[in-house]
Amino acid sequence: MQDAKQNTPTWSKRKVNFHQRSQALAARRDEWIERNHSYYEQDYRYMRFLVPEGLRVLDLGCGTGRLLAELRPAYGVGIDISEEMIATARQNHPGLDFVVGDVEAAETLAQLQGPFDVIILSDIIGYLDDCEESLARLHALSTSETRIVIAYHNPLWAPVLGLATRFGQRMPMAEELNWLSSGDIASIIPLAGFDLVKREYRQLVPKHLFGLGPLINRFLAPLPILRTFCLRNYLVARDVRHATAAEPPLSTTVVIPCRNERGNIENAIRRLPQFCDDLEVIFVEGNSSDGTWEECLRVQAAYPDRKIKCFQQTGKGKGDAVRKGFDEAGGDVLMILDADLTVRPEDLPKFYRAIQDGRGEFINGSRLVYPMESEAMRFLNHIANWLFARIFSYLLNQRFTDTLCGTKVLTRKAYQQIVANRAYFGDFDPFGDFDLIFGAAKLNLKTIEVPIRYAAREYGETQISRFRHGLLLIRMVVFAFFKLKAL
């Protein structure tokens, strides 16, 4: 890949100064990184959390290529305005591609072989002449599945960073930086045709301090009040110009886990609308004692016009049943419908439209928006659901009003990505809900909620134990904190 022609006469004065400073610092950049190893290692660790290995990654303003190399991409391209920076990057990381060029120039981006899975702007947004236009140009290199990752300094730290530079504790900064807050960047993102997926804040103490810095950053910095004072801001966005309705219409598999739900099996089929041309229903029966398995087989035979499959799970719990159903599914879209029918089958078209039209990538039902039927949920369960929803909204960096609603929808491709990355969380979830929620958060999938009216069950008894499952939920909170926050 050839270097882009540097059209210096059209550069602004600040860009010329930035280029000159970058050229002068290139020889010592890696030395500065080593001198501030704790800061950079924590930054790289979180970037590795956001960007899984083996993807197609473009790093804008790559410097000497250290960050791009840390991410271990299958195909990695770095662009930097400095010829000296790129020369060092090519020497140190021969397995990656590096290009000299202005990341704001259309001719620089035009020669790249996109699209990319991830496009990174780490610290470069402070040097751009036009942040909105620069982001908008990235549509040519992205798809609806591409994630834009922006990392930058918190403006509150500007005086501290200035002093650190003056006393030789930090690499010299260019003048006239764009000191953009996380909120400023979040406001620019939709103007450029992108949709904000999440925001995160890291590093309250950017120094090692005999081991205290990393401990504070791991356990105290993620806390709700303290995190707004962190040095590093991270934002993840997706391309909504490409997130349009899928053509042709997506096929769908509805997975119905069922244990001791004999009286609800036929109603599930009778009430389920044919909301897409190719609709498959999979019953996964969990060793019932009331004849549920036999009823599944009877209903399958009684409705030959519907595509119905029946399986018995070999493991235990709803999570095992969901994984069994998803493994057997043939649809482009995967849905969960609880067999108690407290979420109405008639509401599933709403979930389908949300994912078919590209409005979200992980669709979660919410029972806590509309008033629910009396007896649908006990008072203590309602309070617990409300509380856990707010805790998990903080942990996941996306709004959740009801994490425990059984109806969840995603594409089969997204589910396969969750399965491929499941080792990060392990086999931890007997419910099945959090395996999907945490997996979607780790992959930076856009989550939206569909409000539904929660009904009382008409057959059978709830299989939720308030206190036993409440303790499990507390364990989930602790588990999520360590896996998603205390990195």
User: What mean pLDDT is predicted for residues 67-90?
Assistant: 97
Burial of residue 353, with CB atoms counted within 10 A of its CB: 0-12 exposed, 13-18 middle, 19 or more buried: middle
| Residue 457 banded pLDDT, cuts 50, 70, 90 | low
Highest mean predicted confidence (pLDDT) among 9-18, 313-322, 369-378, 410-419: 410-419
Instruction: Specify the range with the lowest mean pLDDT, choosing from 59-63, 275-279, 300-304, 472-476.
Output: 472-476
Residue-level pLDDT at 215: 94
User: What mean pLDDT is predicted for residues 428-450?
Assistant: 89
Largest CA-CA distance found in the chain, in angstroms, rounded = 80
Highest mean predicted confidence (pLDDT) among 129-138, 159-168, 478-487: 129-138
Residues 318-327 pLDDT 10s: 899 999 999 9
| Residue 265 banded pLDDT, cuts 50, 70, 90 | very high
Residue-level pLDDT at 48: 97
Residue pair 429/380 in contact (Cβ under 8 Å)? The answer is no
pLDDT at 460 > cutoff 70 = no
Residue-level pLDDT at 322: 95
At the topology level of CATH, where does 252-485 sit?
Spore Coat Polysaccharide Biosynthesis Protein SpsA; Chain A (3.90.550)
Residue-level pLDDT at 402: 81
Residue-level pLDDT at 465: 53
pLDDT at 255 > cutoff 90 = yes
Residue-level pLDDT at 389: 80
Q: Which residue has the tokens 């134990």?
A: 465
Look up the CATH architecture of domain 8-239.
3-Layer(aba) Sandwich (3.40)
| Residue 2 banded pLDDT, cuts 50, 70, 90 | confident
pLDDT at 464 > cutoff 80 = no
| Residue 59 banded pLDDT, cuts 50, 70, 90 | very high
Residue-level pLDDT at 379: 59
Residue 376 vs residue 214, higher pLDDT = 214
pTM for this prediction: 0.91
Instruction: Specify the range with the lowest mean pLDDT, choosing from 37-46, 64-73, 99-108, 460-469.
Output: 460-469
- List where CATH 3.40.50.150 sits in the chain: 8-239
| Residue 60 banded pLDDT, cuts 50, 70, 90 | very high
Instruction: Specify the range with the lowest mean pLDDT, choosing from 36-40, 55-59, 150-154, 375-379.
Output: 375-379
Q: State the helix-helix crossing angle for 212-219 and 37-50, rounded to 10 degrees.
A: 30
| Residue 403 banded pLDDT, cuts 50, 70, 90 | confident
pLDDT at 297 > cutoff 70 = yes
- List where CATH 3.90.550.10 sits in the chain: 252-485
Residue-level pLDDT at 487: 85
Residue-level pLDDT at 171: 80
Residue 456 vs residue 80, higher pLDDT = 80
Mean pLDDT for the chain overall: 90
